[in-house]
């Protein structure tokens, strides 16, 4: 079965979007029988990857299709339960790789919800009615504001450790300590109380922002919506653009889109992502870009690249290495970048830029070795050059291939490489790259707009290796063969440590510390073994632990 | 077999300390047949926990016994090999818990080497002759300066990923990216080249600081020693103090020292550490403290507490929870703190303070649940109050126990609680605690020197729970029983995430991200399974990997 990350509201089984002026309500109403695979029922608004794929789609569409929406109310359509978190039988029955990919995607989606408020003024307010347990509370934690409806039974909880022997791994621990800054001993207490915390105490401990009786809920929400809307600079008078289905063909050994293609060499454990540069010049105005809608090149490409990465993560588990290539006119890529920069005040352009930031982070966080191959005819310029700096290493051809008359390979920096798209660590890829060489960073800045050949790019420290056509094939082949022969786990751990030098943020803590500990626990018999807590949950039998503390 | 962390130079099998004026040389000369347990030979200066226990002892003694030593040359006494890293057969044959404890201790020792330069002007210069591979290069990375002797064969390498399918987990990845700030793609290349990097390229990539031929080595070392010595403010004219063996009795269910005792209730999975406050007043002068030598209360206590923690970590694997209690006069503890503060310019007092910082970090990093019980007659004041803030939660008695006439429990803050002992995250425990409540932090500061009773301490947010004697016993018992019933892995992961809110540093990256990924890998069949790389290393058989990327 192929896991498909594309959907649209007409196909949602678990969510409903209602738009009313500047406020939208995103209703969670999980279909018990709508699990992505057989073997579990999604009771009590518990979720699996399928539910989250719809959520991701909804979060995206609300941003692009509804510029007028300034506040999103995240609510449960079920009585007395907000969300019971990730479905436990699903977790218990999933492979290690699926659990890890599932957690990564859900984390990215929650970051996107947070980012909607921070980057484009679309703020989430979560209304917790009934229980918000585990992943349910983690979903609430991703909102800018949490309202607890005090009906005597509503509560928030992170019961993973006591009940399931796993962590609240969708950002829960990190957001409790670093976003909501709950005192650590209270956090310790909270994370060990199965039934969670209710009422005023939840507010006193800063686990929620408002506690309100049902009778006063509507009035309070009206007030909060107005407050958050007042902080938003989203336009009230402009129409959104709609996302049509991606043009995509999935074959035996390829996935082809309009601007992106993925070719698979499974026996080599290699995937090649090829990106085609713009075929037309940049539009003349923001209105023109808007009129192009989801066919506007930067947006269309972001959507396709995003889908390609997600597809590879979930559906090609044995691909060890992703090669990234481009083809096109680098000056035209820079022209698009300049167009984007000169219209950065436009809501749509801002949305697309923020989307690129997310897609590039998705690349950074992909647990596959990444290499950029900069060859003649390529267009690694500006935003596309970010892909070079996102890879683990890059190879650039000196001169031309024998009998190939395409333009010599060049690399072009643009303003987009200097802070427009911060990594999870909060700084740009070039700043991260040159942490130890601030002078190289300044030199790189000085080269903005110049077409750098391989030797110049090498001299500036922008690429890893420059080879001429005599050595190119052997060097690249040897690298790929060797890389694909290494332990995939060793590579995952190594890359997770080498990619994010410098400052740490809540995001890097989530994907570094929290995720790594969770992955460890997902290997431990106390959680996943036949007598472990995940497998025994709901059986009436207590888990049987090895009590060695590690 | 009990693992004993105490040793002294007369018993060293693997190291030799030579002191010559302001320079000491720490020679590594591992005895192949001196492994801590049977089953492996420590060839090529490879190490096991026993080698590192001696290193830790040497690092400590150099600081306390040799105030005149400003530079420590870390060298191999073997020809053509600096150090081959952690012994692979030892790793392959060790339990998961042993591997994890081993890595944690080696990391702490490397941090102590780095700290010697930063906190007390005793700088390490590492001389790499021959190969420094894996943990061998990680040892070099902990020095303030690395000299590579360019004899044509000397090299530095981190071959863990390609050879062993594990990470360079003793800080290697983190120090390459964040201390030496090696460009990430070069770090990627470096960490995948089995044979490592030699000569000038090692310097160009900032993997080492100097590359020098053998003929010029002595001259260069003379120069570098003089430079680092010039930066040091250690006194040249004062005698050190010597560390005599700890007075320690290890019984069936206890370990007793002079100021510390550990009582074990193994069936409950609980250990109680009891600390006795000072029995005499603070000395009248730094000379007086010096004359007391290793019997000076703050130093004696630090050594005992350090040993007790290390003992529990390695020898009591099933202890889930450590209770910390104190007994004594809190005003006298504060008097010692004031004495330390008023003599902070004295080298010995500075050393002892820095040692306390390390011991408290050792507590923070202990993978056991920690609770402070603040009872009548206790002396949680100043430095000892730091232990309260290091625990996961604290319980304080309101009033007195029935029929007990000891002084009512009190908690006293001192200057020592406000920045003297930063956690690994670089800020104080109270600042971490009150990240979300800066006003509470200020209020706490205002209470310095006041004996706070349980209600006041609770009001100020300094403790987790205050109970009177009617509830005390049940509440504490229920907590302990419950805690001890949880999955130890879940608790380890949870505590590692909740204890370190706020900023991140190289240390938190090492103990958070790097360690967590390494622990994950230490569970993965690709590394530790019967066909995994660690088990097959040296067998002539290639490891058999599951190539699923996770």
Spell out which residues of chain B touch residue A487, defining contact as CB-CB under 8 Å.
Answer: 161, 165, 524, 526-527, 533, 543, 545
B269 and B395 within one domain: yes
The residue-averaged pLDDT of B444-466 equals: 98
Q: Is there a domain that residue A508 lies in?
A: no
For A438, list phi and psi in degrees, rounded to 5. -55, -30
Cα–Cα distance, A87 to A39 (Å, whole number): 11
The pLDDT of residue B264 is 98
Interchain CB contact of B180 with A (< 8 Å): yes
Cα–Cα distance, A543 to A522 (Å, whole number): 15
DSSP state of B322: E
Cα–Cα distance, B190 to B168 (Å, whole number): 12
The residue-averaged pLDDT of B141-164 equals: 95
Q: How far does the CA of residue B315 sit from the closest CA of chain A (Å)?
A: 11
Cα–Cα distance, B74 to B26 (Å, whole number): 5
Residue reference for tokens 């009035």: A219
* 3-state helix, strand and coil shares in percent for chain A, rounded to the nearest 5: 45, 15, 35
How far lies B376's CA from each of A291, A480, B263, B394, in Å? 75, 67, 19, 14
| Contact criterion met (CB < 8 Å) for A501 and B550 | no
- Residue B59 · residue B21 · CB < 8 Å: no
A75 and A185 within one domain: yes
The model's pTM is 0.97
- Residue B488 · residue A550 · CB < 8 Å: yes
Over residues B92-145, the pLDDT tens digits come to 999 999 999 999 999 999 999 999 999 999 999 999 999 999 999 999 999 999
A273 and A197 within one domain: no
The pLDDT of residue B152 is 84
A221 and A349 within one domain: no
CA atoms within a 13 Å half-sphere pointing along the CA-CB vector of B468: 3
List the single residue in A with minimal CA-CA distance to B429: A184
The pLDDT of residue A66 is 98
Q: b/e per residue, B216-231, with b = 16+ CB within 10 A? A: ebeebbeebbeebbee
B 36-55: CB under 8 A from A: none
Mention every residue, 6+ apart, whose C-beta is less than 8 A from residue B177: A435, A497, A498, A501, B184, B187
Q: How far does the CA of residue B185 sit from the closest CA of chain A (Å)?
A: 5
| Contact criterion met (CB < 8 Å) for A524 and B489 | yes
| Contact criterion met (CB < 8 Å) for B173 and A498 | yes
The residue-averaged pLDDT of B188-196 equals: 97
The pLDDT of residue A33 is 97
Q: Is there a domain that residue A534 lies in?
A: no
A267 and A204 within one domain: no
Other residues' Cβ atoms within 10 Å of the Cβ of residue A93: 16
A206 and A285 within one domain: no
List the single residue in A with minimal CA-CA distance to B180: A436
Over residues B465-517, the pLDDT tens digits come to 999 999 999 999 999 999 999 999 999 999 999 999 999 999 999 999 999 99
Spell out which residues of chain B touch residue A268, defining contact as CB-CB under 8 Å.
Answer: none
Check whether B151 has a pLDDT greater than 90: no
Q: Is there a domain that residue B520 lies in?
A: no
A453 and A414 within one domain: yes
| Contact criterion met (CB < 8 Å) for B501 and A167 | no
B199: exposed, middle or buried (Cβ count in 10 Å: 0-12, 13-18, 19+): middle
B188, B518, B547 ranked by CB distance to A393: nearest: B188
Angle (CA) B173-B120-B220 rounded to 5° is: 70
Spell out which residues of chain A touch residue B178, defining contact as CB-CB under 8 Å.
Answer: 435, 501-502
Cα–Cα distance, A458 to B251 (Å, whole number): 64
Spell out which residues of chain B touch residue A208, defining contact as CB-CB under 8 Å.
Answer: none
The pLDDT of residue B350 is 98
Q: Which of B377, B176, B177, B412 is nearest to B274 (CA)?
A: B377
A381 and A304 within one domain: yes
| Contact criterion met (CB < 8 Å) for A504 and B502 | no
Interchain CB contact of A548 with B (< 8 Å): yes
Q: Which domain holds residue B68?
A: 10-230
B147 and B100 within one domain: yes
Mean pLDDT of chain B: 97
CA atoms within a 13 Å half-sphere pointing along the CA-CB vector of B378: 31
The residue-averaged pLDDT of B29-41 equals: 96
Q: How far does the CA of residue B548 sit from the closest CA of chain A (Å)?
A: 5
Of A457, A492, A527, the last residue of a domain is A492
B252: exposed, middle or buried (Cβ count in 10 Å: 0-12, 13-18, 19+): exposed
Q: Is there a domain that residue A267 lies in?
A: yes
A21 is written with which tokens? Answer: 């002026």
| Contact criterion met (CB < 8 Å) for B487 and A516 | no
| Contact criterion met (CB < 8 Å) for A489 and B527 | yes
Mention every residue, 6+ apart, whose C-beta is less than 8 A from residue A284: none
Interchain CB contact of A439 with B (< 8 Å): no
Cα–Cα distance, B388 to A328 (Å, whole number): 62
A386 and A263 within one domain: yes
Q: Is there a domain that residue B527 lies in?
A: no
Spell out which residues of chain A touch residue B512, defining contact as CB-CB under 8 Å.
Answer: 509, 512-513, 516
B116 and B223 within one domain: yes
Q: What are B416's strand-pairing partners?
A: none
Q: Is there a domain that residue B257 lies in?
A: yes
Q: Is there a domain that residue A131 lies in?
A: yes
Of A440, A463, A492, the last residue of a domain is A492
CATH number of domain containing A455: 3.90.226.10
B263 and B167 within one domain: no
Interchain CB contact of A523 with B (< 8 Å): yes
- Looking at per-residue confidence, does B1 or A524 come out higher? A524
Q: Is there a domain that residue B536 lies in?
A: no
Spell out which residues of chain A touch residue B498, defining contact as CB-CB under 8 Å.
Answer: 173, 176-177, 184, 187-188, 191
Q: How far does the CA of residue A536 sit from the closest CA of chain B (Å)?
A: 13
B183, B432, B503 ranked by CB distance to A184: nearest: B432
Cα–Cα distance, A318 to A266 (Å, whole number): 8
Interchain CB contact of A77 with B (< 8 Å): no
For every residue of A309-324, DSSP letters joined together read HHHHHHH-TT--EEEE
Q: How far is CA B396 from the centre of its chain?
A: 29
CA A85, A86, A89, A90: dihedral to nearest 10 degrees?
A: 160
Q: b/e per residue, B123-160, with b = 16+ CB within 10 A? A: bbbbbbbbbbbbbbbbbbbbbbbbbbbbeeebbbbbbb
pLDDT by residue, tens only, chain A of 550 residues: 899 999 999 999 999 999 999 999 999 999 999 999 999 999 999 999 999 999 999 999 999 999 999 999 999 999 999 999 999 999 999 999 999 999 999 999 999 999 999 999 999 999 999 999 999 999 999 999 999 999 888 999 999 999 999 999 999 999 999 999 999 999 999 999 999 999 999 999 999 999 999 999 999 999 999 999 999 999 999 999 999 999 999 999 999 999 999 999 999 999 999 999 999 999 999 999 999 999 999 999 999 999 999 999 999 999 999 999 999 999 999 999 999 999 999 999 999 999 999 999 999 999 999 999 999 999 999 999 999 999 999 999 999 998 998 989 999 999 999 999 999 999 999 999 999 999 999 999 999 999 999 999 999 999 999 999 999 999 999 999 999 999 999 999 999 999 999 999 999 999 999 999 999 999 999 999 999 999 999 999 999 999 999 9
| Contact criterion met (CB < 8 Å) for B320 and A184 | no
Question: Angle between the B347-364 and B330-342 helix axes, to the nearest 10 degrees?
Answer: 130
How many residue pairs from chains A and B have C-beta atoms closer than 8 A?
A: 287
Total domain count, chain B = 2
Q: How far does the CA of residue B359 sit from the closest CA of chain A (Å)?
A: 19
Of A448, A466, A492, the last residue of a domain is A492
Cα–Cα distance, B361 to B364 (Å, whole number): 5
């Amino acid at each position: 079965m192929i896991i498909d990350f594309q959907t649209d509201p007409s196909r949602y089984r678990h969510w409903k979007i209602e738009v009313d002026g500047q406020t939208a309500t995103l209703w969670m109403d999980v279909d018990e029988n709508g699990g992505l695979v057989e073997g579990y029922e999604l009771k009590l608004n518990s979720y699996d990857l399928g539910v989250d794929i719809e959520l991701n789609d909804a979060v995206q569409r609300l941003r692009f299709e509804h510029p007028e929406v300034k506040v999103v109310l995240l609510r449960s359509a079920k009585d007395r339960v907000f969300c019971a978190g990730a479905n436990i039988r699903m977790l218990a029955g999933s492979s290690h790789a699926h659990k890890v990919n599932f957690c990564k995607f859900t984390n990215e989606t929650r970051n996107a919800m947070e980012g909607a408020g921070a980057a484009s003024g679309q703020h989430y307010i979560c209304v917790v009615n009934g229980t918000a347990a585990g992943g349910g509370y983690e979903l609430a934690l991703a909102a800018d504001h949490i309202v607890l409806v005090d009906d005597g039974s509503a509560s928030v909880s992170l019961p993973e450790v006591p009940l399931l022997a796993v962590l609240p791994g969708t950002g829960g621990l990190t957001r409790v300590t670093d976003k909501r800054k709950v005192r650590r001993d209270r956090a310790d207490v909270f994370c060990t109380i199965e039934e969670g915390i209710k009422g005023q105490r939840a507010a006193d401990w800063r686990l929620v922002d408002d506690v309100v009786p049902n009778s006063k809920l509507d009035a309070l929400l009206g007030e909060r919506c107005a407050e958050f809307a007042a902080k938003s600079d989203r336009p009230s008078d402009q129409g959104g653009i709609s996302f049509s289905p991606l043009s995509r063909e999935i074959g035996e050994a390829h996935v082809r889109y309009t601007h992106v293609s993925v070719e698979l060499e499974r026996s080599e454990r290699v995937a090649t992502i090829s990106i085609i540069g713009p075929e037309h010049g940049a539009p003349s105005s923001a209105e023109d870009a808007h009129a192009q809608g989801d066919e506007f090149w930067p947006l269309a490409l972001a959507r396709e690249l995003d889908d390609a990465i997600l597809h590879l993560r979930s559906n090609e588990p044995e691909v060890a290495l992703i090669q990234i290539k481009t083809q096109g006119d680098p000056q035209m890529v820079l022209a698009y970048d300049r167009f984007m920069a000169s219209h950065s005040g436009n809501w749509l352009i801002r949305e697309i830029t923020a989307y690129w930031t997310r897609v590039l982070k998705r690349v950074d966080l992909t647990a596959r070795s990444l290499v950029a191959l900069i060859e003649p005819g390529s267009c690694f310029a500006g935003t596309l050059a970010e892909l070079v700096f996102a890879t683990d290493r890059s190879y650039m051809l000196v001169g031309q291939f024998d009998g190939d008359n395409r333009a010599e390979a060049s690399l072009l920096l643009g303003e987009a490489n200097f802070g427009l798209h911060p990594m999870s660590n909060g700084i740009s890829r070039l700043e991260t790259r040159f942490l130890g060489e601030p002078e190289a960073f300044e030199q790189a800045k000085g080269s903005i707009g110049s077409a750098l050949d391989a030797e110049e790019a090498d001299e500036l420290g922008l690429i890893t290796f420059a080879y001429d056509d005599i050595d190119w094939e052997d060097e690249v082949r040897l690298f790929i063969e060797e890389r694909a022969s290494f332990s995939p786990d060793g590579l995952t751990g190594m890359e997770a440590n080498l990619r994010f030098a410098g400052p740490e943020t809540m995001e890097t803590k989530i994907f570094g510390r929290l995720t790594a500990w969770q992955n460890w626990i997902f290997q431990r018999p106390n959680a996943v073994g036949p007598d472990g807590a995940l497998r025994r949950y709901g059986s009436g039998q207590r888990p049987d632990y090895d009590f060695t503390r590690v």
